[in-house]
Structure 1
């Protein structure tokens, strides 16, 4: 019972910060990258929906996280690949995300969880690979933090670092989203 108030505050704070960082990233990248801006905007809406009264049921949480993961994250990676000339990977990531979004009802809760974690890890690894080859330090950090969020979500423990596991994963997503926004900005400057 001692951790209950701390857990509630950490959950609310992690959602608010994720929404704020994602909204800032969407606004700052809308002129240069509409796909990434849409991905960040989906993350913003998913984080805000978790805080809305009456929408915080398990089904709503899963639906918001599902959309932000299988459509939002591939949208983020799409532009990163497209600008670097890797059109086939960009299209494959986005197409795979769209297929998963449509097939989500047929996968069941555990299937959706595994598919969402797989999408998160695939996006993180592909961003990391492109960032390494283009020497984009922010992209490396963004890909690494998205990967950390994906790996932490696979752990069986309920608490990490005295916080609920989901909150720690969200903080990793916050760091990854911020770094990825900076990576997109750096990438655009390199190509101009």
Structure 2
């Protein structure tokens, strides 16, 4: 049973890493912030495949995964806001996300979970607003998919999951990774479509 759980988790990590790294490659030319976000998600997923036994590497992998889940959606939303020419909100979101990452060491576990959800709601609301006005359904779907880990089971820096996760932690982790992979694919298409539409309006 443990082997099946580890295998499915590893496969979910492979799917997520392929999807996110492919999106990072495709978006690098026109959407640098999103490309960095997908690289972060992709590299953390690649490390997760190997399940390192070394405690230092495992801690680094958990922190990288946490940073990807926290910063990734914010960087992608930054691109959506920037394309919509709402540069002030984009900068506020980026600065707020950076401060959250820097100050996370001083927050308690409960405080970190609460702040993670606040960041997720802020990011998601901005992204959904832009996508609604742009009539970009793929962007809305991708934004929800990428924000789910922070909303459903936010991590603490130690790698443990937030209070919504119970005995089905392994299954939930697998499902969230597959949903995030779908989110990477749809968001990549949505950003390119949005840029194409904007060029068409010019």
TM-score by shorter chain over 0.5 = yes
TM-score by length of 2: 0.82
Counterpart among 12, 22, 32 of residue 14 in structure 1: 12
Distance in 2 (CA, whole Å) between partners of 1:138 and 1:73 is 15
Distance in 2 (CA, whole Å) between partners of 1:125 and 1:158 is 30
Query: Residue 143 of structure 2 corresponds to which residue in structure 1?
Result: 143
Higher relative contact order (CA 8 A, sep 6+): 2
Task: Give structure 1 stretches of 5+ with no counterpart.
Answer: none
Query: Residue 59 of structure 2 corresponds to which residue in structure 1?
Result: 59
Is 1:171 equivalent to 2:178 in the alignment?
yes
CA 1:117–1:50 in 2, change beyond 3 Å: closer, same or farther? Answer: farther
Distance in 1 (CA, whole Å) between partners of 2:47 and 2:121 is 24
TM-score by length of 1: 0.86
CA 1:28–1:5 in 2, change beyond 3 Å: closer, same or farther? Answer: same
Question: What are the equivalent positions in structure 2 for 1:11-50 lying under 5 Å apart?
Answer: 11-50=9-48
Deviations 1:115-145 (A, max 9, x none): 3333233322221121111101111211232
Q: Which secondary structure state, in structure 1, belongs to the residue aligned with residue 79 of structure 2? A: helix
Is 1:182 equivalent to 2:189 in the alignment?
yes
Deviations 1:134-160 (A, max 9, x none): 101111211232344444326333327
How many correspondences in the alignment?
188
CA 1:109–1:55 in 2, change beyond 3 Å: closer, same or farther? Answer: farther
The RMSD of aligned alpha carbons is 2.2
Is 1:152 equivalent to 2:159 in the alignment?
no
Question: What are the equivalent positions in structure 2 for 1:52-91 lying under 5 Å apart?
Answer: 52=50, 53-54=52-53, 59-91=59-91
Conserved? CA contact 2:14–2:45, under 8 Å: yes
